[in-house]
Structure 1
Amino acid sequence: MKGAFTIEGSSFVDQRGEIKFFNSFDMSKVVRFYEITPSSTDVVRAWQGHSFEKKWFYCHSGSFVINIVNITDHNSPATEVDPKRFELNADNPFILEVPGGNATGFKAGLPHSKLMVFSNFTLEESAKDDIRFPIETWKATW
């Protein structure tokens, strides 16, 4: 897979509550963000890819499984590739960075889970770079 990695977060707890922070996350390239709340833990959203757009994923409520595959050929992707699986959990703060050239799919592990997605592309730029594949294209463990 092409360059996906995690950015570790941390937390601080005292009598006033908890703060989760990501001091090493450089947000200077982020131009928009959105939140995804699946309707149930049975829903799998897969596969969406981008040639150039970079995304960062952060689970701030519940948990998610995110699978990632490198897109080698948009017209005839290699289907024998095993997706790389990441588990995001609100209790273990980290951000998953996924560069362009990859497709992602994800599924909530708990009810009411929420996933923040940050992007370095505007909505218009992202739409021009969007690549979709049927869920059956790759076998993933959700």
Structure 2
Amino acid sequence: MKPKLIFGGCHKDERGIVKFNNDFNMSVIKRMYTIENNTSNSIRGWQGHKIEQRWFIAIVGSFQIDVKPILAFENQDYSQEILSFKLLSNSLDVLHIPAGFVTCIHTLEKKAQLLAFSDFELGAVKDEWKYML
């Protein structure tokens, strides 16, 4: 399985705006949290999971999320292509990061907020991997 964007949508009328994502299946999600950096151009990475999956939604501002397989770091294969995704808060697009990948999260705007979901409860598995590029 590869990382992928699950596209949301937006409906506007005289009453206001409804953002939606009808293709995001949340049945395996166990917890959620937010990430907010105080400055633009903040970077969190490279970190990821061999067992857990993550889903990300920009709820305020915008983010660039770079993704690589964990095996690229373990095998020191730094030539492996980086997949880059941009998340904007004006849609409800969801970025799914399957198990076996690491991310580098770039905040593109001050006070941007990223909503994150996990398919494991906190502390259920020891599965946090951090790398330097």
Q: Following the alignment from structure 2 to structure 1, what is the Cα–Cα distance between the partners of residues 27 and 19?
A: 19
SS at match of 1:107: strand
Q: Which amino acid aligns with 1:63?
A: S
Q: Following the alignment from structure 2 to structure 1, what is the Cα–Cα distance between the partners of residues 74 and 97?
A: 21
- Counting matched residue pairs gives 133
Q: Which residue of 2 aligns with 1:101?
A: 100
Greater share of residues in helix:
1
CA pair 131-97 structure 1, distance change in 2 beyond 3 A: same
Q: Following the alignment from structure 2 to structure 1, what is the Cα–Cα distance between the partners of residues 61 and 101?
A: 24
Give the 5 Å matches for 1:50-129.
50-72=49-71, 75-126=74-125, 128-129=126-127
Q: Following the alignment from structure 2 to structure 1, what is the Cα–Cα distance between the partners of residues 13 and 85?
A: 30
SS at match of 2:123: helix
Q: Following the alignment from structure 2 to structure 1, what is the Cα–Cα distance between the partners of residues 107 and 99?
A: 23
Asked if 2 retains the 8 angstrom alpha-carbon contact of 1:53 and 1:121, the reply is yes
**1:42 deviation in Å?**
2.7
The CA RMSD over aligned residues, in Å, is: 1.5
TM-score between the two structures when normalised by the length of structure 2: 0.92
Equivalent pairs: percent with the same residue? 30
Q: Following the alignment from structure 1 to structure 2, what is the Cα–Cα distance between the partners of residues 55 and 118?
A: 5
Q: Following the alignment from structure 2 to structure 1, what is the Cα–Cα distance between the partners of residues 47 and 79?
A: 17
Instruction: Establish whether residue 30 from structure 1 lines up as the match of residue 29 from structure 2.
Output: yes
Q: Which residue of 2 aligns with 1:131?
A: 129
Q: Following the alignment from structure 2 to structure 1, what is the Cα–Cα distance between the partners of residues 78 and 97?
A: 19
Q: Following the alignment from structure 2 to structure 1, what is the Cα–Cα distance between the partners of residues 90 and 72?
A: 37
**1:55 deviation in Å?**
0.5
Structure 1: which 5+ residue stretches go unaligned?
Answer: 138-142
SS at match of 1:52: coil
